[in-house]
Amino acid sequence: MTTTQCDTLGNSAYPYEENEYDLVIIGAGPAGMTASIYAIRANMRVLLLDKLSPGGQVINTLEVQNYPGAGIINGAELAIQMFEQTQALGVPFEYATATQILENNGKKQIVCEEGQTFQARAVIIATGTNPRRLGVPGEEKFAGDSIHWCAICDGSQYRCKTVAMIGGGNSAVEESLYLAGIADHLSLITLFDLTADPAACDKLRALPNVTIYECHEILEFIGTNGLEAIRARCTKSGEEITVRTEGAFEYIGLEPKAEAFKNLGILNEHGYIEADSWMETRAGGIFGAGDINSKNLRQIVTACSDGALAAQAAARYIEMMK
C-alpha cells in the first residue's frame, strides 16, 4: 500500500510505502518527544517508538523543579504533558522495541522485537540510560519516592533533612557536595574507598554535616511509609550499621540502553553514542539525542535541546537525499 504526504522540504508529494517514514525516533523520553515535535512541524513523516510508556526516566522523578516554565511538577505529569503535545500535533506513536538498524537500499530498516519492521531515511536514537541499581530489599519499594538517581532533580526536597548518598566516584562526591549544602546531614556510603578527585574528596570530608562510611555494602532499605534507615555491613570487619536517613541517592553508575546499536559503529568504549554538536554520528542518517549520548550534563532541558538539534539535522540530511 502506498500513501502520499506533502513534503515541505521539497513542497511536493512523495510516495510512501506502508511502514515507511522520513524519520523514525527510537525512544520517547524528553529528547525523543522534542525531536518528534520539531520533525512533524517540519512536515516530515515521523514515527515515535518506545517499548514502554512515554517519558523515559522522567516518570520516575517525584518532583521536577528545574524545567523552565513548569514550576514544581511531578515527573510523570510533565511526561504526560509532553506526550499530549506530540499527540495534539499528530505524531504517530508505536509500542515497539528496536533490536537492530540495518541498511536497505539507502534507507534504514528498524527491526523490532515484536515483529514490526519500519523503514526510514533517517533515525534518531534517544533510548537514554538506566541507572544501575543495588538490587537489595526495600529498593524497589522506595524507588522514585525516597530513593532517587538525580540530586539536581530531587535534592531540594531534602532541605534541612537527613539524606544519604550511595557511591564514591566523581558523580557521587560532586553531588554530595551539592546535597550537603541543602540537607541538615548527609551520610555517604560506598562499597570501596572514595575514588573521586582527591580535592573534591578533601572538601567533602571537611564538611561538618557529612559522615562517610567507606568499604560498606548496602544490605537493605528500611521504612514503613517512607525511607527511615539504611542497613549496611563493613566489608573489612563484618560489622553491621544502621544509618538513619529520610532519603537516598544512588550514584553507582549508568547503563546506556544501546545494545541494539552495537553494529552501527557509533558507540564509545562505555557504550554511549558519540555525536557532534548537531547530534550526527559517524553513520550517515543516524543521530543520537539525550542521555544515550556521551555528554557532560544529563538533564531534561539538555535532552530537549539535543532532540531539537537532532530533528533539524535529520531534516537537512533528508533534504540532501532527495
CATH 3.50.50.60 assigned to domain 133-250? The reply is yes
Query: Which pLDDT belongs to residue 62?
Result: 67
Query: Which pLDDT belongs to residue 216?
Result: 98
Q: Where are the domains of the chain?
A: 2-130+254-321, 133-250
Query: Which pLDDT belongs to residue 14?
Result: 60
SS3 286: strand
Burial of 247 (0-12, 13-18, 19+ CB in 10 A): buried
Query: Which pLDDT belongs to residue 2?
Result: 39
Instruction: Point out which residues pair with 188 in neighbouring strands.
Output: 165, 212
pLDDT along the chain (322 residues), means of 10: 40 67 98 98 96 88 84 92 97 96 93 95 96 94 92 91 96 92 97 93 97 98 96 97 98 91 95 97 97 93 98 96 80
Query: Which pLDDT belongs to residue 101?
Result: 97
Instruction: Using alpha carbons only, give the angle 100, 40, 75 rounded to the nearest 5 degrees.
Output: 75
Question: What CATH architecture does domain 2-130+254-321 belong to?
Answer: 3-Layer(bba) Sandwich (3.50)
Q: Which helix (H) or strand (E) holds 203?
A: helix 198-205
Query: Which pLDDT belongs to residue 182?
Result: 95
pTM of the model: 0.76
Q: What is 89-140 written as a DSSP string?
A: TT--EEE--EEEEEEETTEEEEEETTS-EEEEEEEEE---EEE-----TTHH
Query: Which pLDDT belongs to residue 18?
Result: 83
Euclidean distance between CA atoms 161 and 15, whole angstroms: 60
Best CA proximity match to 242, nearest among 231, 256, 255, 233: 231
